[in-house]
């Protein structure tokens, strides 16, 4: 059987809990012949806590609901103006492992940002994508970038000096199949991020394209990210 190529499905604004339940059903019911899917959406304002998350990172949620979920990572915020992408992939069929999968997710975000004239960066020891606050379009390498480590050396402590986080990653893999995914901040109300330690890091600044001077519609950013993910996640 020939499996069709990955095609983004734009869902629009959908309830977070219902969407997670749908991803779980899809993953539990899929077979080796099930085509992969890529869901692109946004959610009403909500905080989500990873399965190993610490409540101490939720500072003052106020009227925004907090939902425990089974993805990796700590607490993050979803809200209108954020493009959330949920790849539902069979990694065994795709032929690469989880570390490579995360790298490809990050690469898709970096290429999406480049489309809008922004340079995205990886930070050693901290999944997600970051930008220079003083030079968002600059191409010089970060001192904090991941570098080759000697065998047995400790993981580096993340250094966010001069950086803002623009995309978060939190995934779940069950029976070699992925769900949850990546969230790119486009034009959000960023205030709710100040009520948490984003991704478990106190004082980490969160930015979006709008705060960097890039005024894109949600639909345009969703289209670009969906296209980049479909390309980068191909086996």
144-167 pLDDT, tens digit each: 999 887 777 777 889 999 999 999
The secondary structure of 164-216 as a DSSP string is: EEEEEEEEEEETTEEEEEEEEESS---GGGGGB-GGG-TT--B--TGGGT---
Q: Which fold has domain 8-145+163-232?
A: BirA Bifunctional Protein; domain 2 (3.30.930)
Return the domain boundaries, the chain: 8-145+163-232
Residue 3 has pLDDT above 90, yes or no: no
Q: In the predicted model, what is the mean pLDDT of residues 199-209?
A: 95
pLDDT digits (tens, 9 = 90+) for 37-91: 999 999 999 999 999 899 999 999 999 999 999 999 999 999 999 999 999 999 9
Confirm whether 199 is a catalytic residue. Answer: yes
Taking 70 as the threshold, does the pLDDT of residue 125 lie above it? Answer: yes
What pLDDT score was predicted for residue 1? Answer: 56
* 3-state secondary structure at position 85: strand
CA distances from 83 to 40, 114, 141, 153, 186 (A): 7, 16, 26, 36, 7
pLDDT tops 80 at residue 218: yes
> Looking at 41, 166, 182, 199, which residue is catalytic?
199
Q: Span 159-185, mean pLDDT?
A: 97
Structure tokens at 13: 């604004």
Confidence at residue 153, expressed as pLDDT on a 0 to 100 scale: 79
Q: Which residue in this structure is represented by tokens 């106020």?
A: 62
* For range 168-187, the mean pLDDT: 97
pLDDT higher than threshold 80 for residue 102 = yes
Answer whether 77's CB lies under 8 Å from 67's CB.
no
The whole-number pLDDT of residue 168 equals: 97
- Residue 170's beta-bridge partner residues? 181
Q: How far apart are CA 31 and CA 27, in angstroms?
A: 9
- 63-73 pLDDT, tens digit per residue, is 999 999 999 99
């Amino acid at each position: 059987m020939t499996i069709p190529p990955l095609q983004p499905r734009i869902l629009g604004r959908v309830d977070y809990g219902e969407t997670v339940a749908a991803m779980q059903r899809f993953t539990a019911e899929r077979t080796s012949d099930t085509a992969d899917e890529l869901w692109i959406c946004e959610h009403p304002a909500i905080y989500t806590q990873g399965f190993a998350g610490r409540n101490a990172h939720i500072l003052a949620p106020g009227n925004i609901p907090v939902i425990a979920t089974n993805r990796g990572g700590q607490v993050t915020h979803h809200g209108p103006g954020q493009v959330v992408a949920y790849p539902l992939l069979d990694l065994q069929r795709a032929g690469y492992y989880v570390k490579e999968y995360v790298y490809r997710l990050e690469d898709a975000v970096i290429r999406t940002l480049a489309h809008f004239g922004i340079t995205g960066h990886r930070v050693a020891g901290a999944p997600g994508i970051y930008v220079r606050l003083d030079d968002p379009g600059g191409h010089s390498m970060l001192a904090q970038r991941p570098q080759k480590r000697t065998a047995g050396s400790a993981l580096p402590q993340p250094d966010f000096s001069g950086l803002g986080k623009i995309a978060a990653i939190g995934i779940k893999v069950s029976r070699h199949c992925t769900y949850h995914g990546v969230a790119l901040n486009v034009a959000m109300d960023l205030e709710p991020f100040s009520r948490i330690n984003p991704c478990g890091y106190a004082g980490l600044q969160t930015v979006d394209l709008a705060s960097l001077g890039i005024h894109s519609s949600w639909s345009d950013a969703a289209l670009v990210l969906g296209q980049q993910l479909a390309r980068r996640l191909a086996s």
